[in-house]
Amino acid sequence: MPDRYSHLAARVRVPCGFAMAAIYLFFAEPTPARLVAGSAVALAGLAVRAASAGHVQKNRKLAWSGPYAYTRNPLYLGSAIAALGFAIAGGRWWFVMLLAFFFAAVYFPVMRSEQQHLTALFGEEYLAYARAVPLLLPRWKPQRVPGIPPARFDPRLYWHNREYEALAAFVVIVLALWGKIVWMG
């Protein structure tokens, strides 16, 4: 894919995500059991995102610790897990296929663009990290950097990176799904 596409994907991913959420909520057919099961999976995804946000200092320092010791893109992995949870909660299995297409069409090009950006920022340090840690699917064991102790989760980074917005979106979606359950009987 051309580099222009990666930059376009980066610009449209959030608006497209909102559009997908609207489509999802319109077509969702939640039940109490699906909502509980799907919410548990979505919460696991949010936990991955939250842990990641407490380790990343965007454009200032390369994150090697926490979830970043397992995957280079734990925020996107957490988003994918959360989206899968919502697909379960909504009871529409075709939505999983739509999510897979969206992820392939938007997030993989964005990850490629971000790799180029991080290589420009951090050079060989990022290239060594990229060789040691997979792009998305996590390693079984964390990658440690010799001589550098792993950083601890920093709640200030969680707030600075505005990860609370993902939690707020989770609450809104769960309430909307619960509303559909109550309204549809």
pLDDT tens-digit profile of 68-92? 999 999 999 999 999 999 999 999 8
Cβ-contact 59, 74 below 8 angstroms: no
DSSP character at residue 66? G
**Long-range CB contacts (within 8 A, 24+) of 164-167:** 166/46, 166/49, 166/50, 166/79, 166/82, 167/46, 167/50
Determine the pLDDT at residue 1: 44
Rounded mean pLDDT for each run of 10 residues along the chain, 185 residues in total? 69 82 92 97 98 91 92 96 95 90 88 91 92 92 78 90 92 96 85
Q: From the CA atom positions of the chain, what is the Rg in Å?
A: 18
Question: Cα–chain-centroid distance for residue 26?
Answer: 22
How many domains are there within the chain?
1
Give the domain extent around 67: 3-184
